[in-house]
Amino acid sequence: MHVVTLGPAGTYSHRAAQSIADEGAVSFRESVTEIVAAVADGEFERGVVPVENSIEGSVDESLDALADREVSVVQEIVSPIRHALLAQGPEFDTVASHPQALAQCREYLTENYPDVAQEAVASTARGVERARENPSVAAIGHPANAGSPETGADGDDGDHPLQRIAENIQDRDSNATRFLVVAPESERSEAGGKTSLVVYPGANYPGLLLELLAAFADRDINLSRIESRPSGRRLGDYCFHFDIEAGLYETRTQEALAEVEAICADGWVRRLGSYDTHHVVE
C-alpha cells in the first residue's frame, strides 16, 4: 500500500503512515489539504491525516478537507504523542514546530522558556530541519529525530546533529493524536464500529441541532464527537462533523441517517465511511 502523509520524513503522521504502508512506500506533502486532494485525485491509495488531539482538539484543516473533497475514511490510528525539545545545544532563541505541537507544550514553554520566540512551521519535522540548519533554533518533535539526519548527509550540507534538550515536554502525559486513513470514495466501507459523517443542513431554525442529535439518541447511538465548522458560504452558516459509535451496516444507523437526510433536505449528508481503530503506534 502506497501512503501519502505530512512531511518531510520524521513527522508523527509519518510514523502513523508507516504502520499501514508497505516498506518504503510513504510519500510526503506539505499540508493535509494536499494529502486529501492527492487521494481524491487518485494519485495515492491511502492518505494519513491528523484529525484530533487530546490537548488541542480538532485539526480544522483536516475537517475542512474531508468536507470539501470526495474521499472515504477506512481506518483510524490513535497514537500517543510524546514530544522532545531538540537543538544543537542548550542555547537558542526560537522554538520552531507545528502549531499543534507548540500548543501541546504551551505550559512547558511558558514555564521554562518564557523569552524564547515561537515559530509555527508546516510540521514538526520541518522544525527539526530548521534546528539542524540553525544553532539558535530548537524544535519540538518526536525524540527519534535527534542525532544525525537519516538522509545520509555527509556533514557538509549544513545539517547538524541534534541533542535531546528535554523529553516528555507535552503538557499532559495522556497526550494522544487521532489520525484518519483516507481512501478513494469508491472504497467506502459500511463495516466497522465507528462512522464519520459530515452534515450541511442548509437551514437554520430553533432546535435544528437538537433534531439532528435526537435522530441518533432515539436509536441509542452514541456520538463520540461533534464539531461545527464554518461552511464558508456566509457568517453563521455551518457544517457539522459527527463521529458515531455504530457502523453504516446497522439498521439503526440507516434509520438515523434517513431522518438526518430528511432534516437536511436543503443541504447534504456525506457518509465518510465506517471503520475500526486498528493501530496504536509510539
Ligand X SMILES: O=C(O)C(=O)C[C@]1(C(=O)O)C=C[C@@H](O)C=C1
Min separation Cβ 265 and ligand X, Å:
35
Q: Which is nearer to ligand X, 101 or 248 (CB)?
A: 101
Min separation Cβ 84 and ligand X, Å:
12
Q: Which is nearer to ligand X, 8 or 135 (CB)?
A: 8
Q: Which is nearer to ligand X, 98 or 188 (CB)?
A: 98
Min separation Cβ 14 and ligand X, Å:
7
Q: Which is nearer to ligand X, 125 or 260 (CB)?
A: 125
- Contacts with ligand X by CB under 6 A lie at 6, 11-13, 50, 53, 59, 81, 98, 100-101, 123-125, 177
Q: Which is nearer to ligand X, 243 or 263 (CB)?
A: 243
CA atoms within 13 A on the CB side of 246: 20
Min separation Cβ 53 and ligand X, Å:
5
Min separation Cβ 280 and ligand X, Å:
14
Cell numbers for 101: 505541537
Q: Which is nearer to ligand X, 13 or 75 (CB)?
A: 13
Min separation Cβ 270 and ligand X, Å:
22
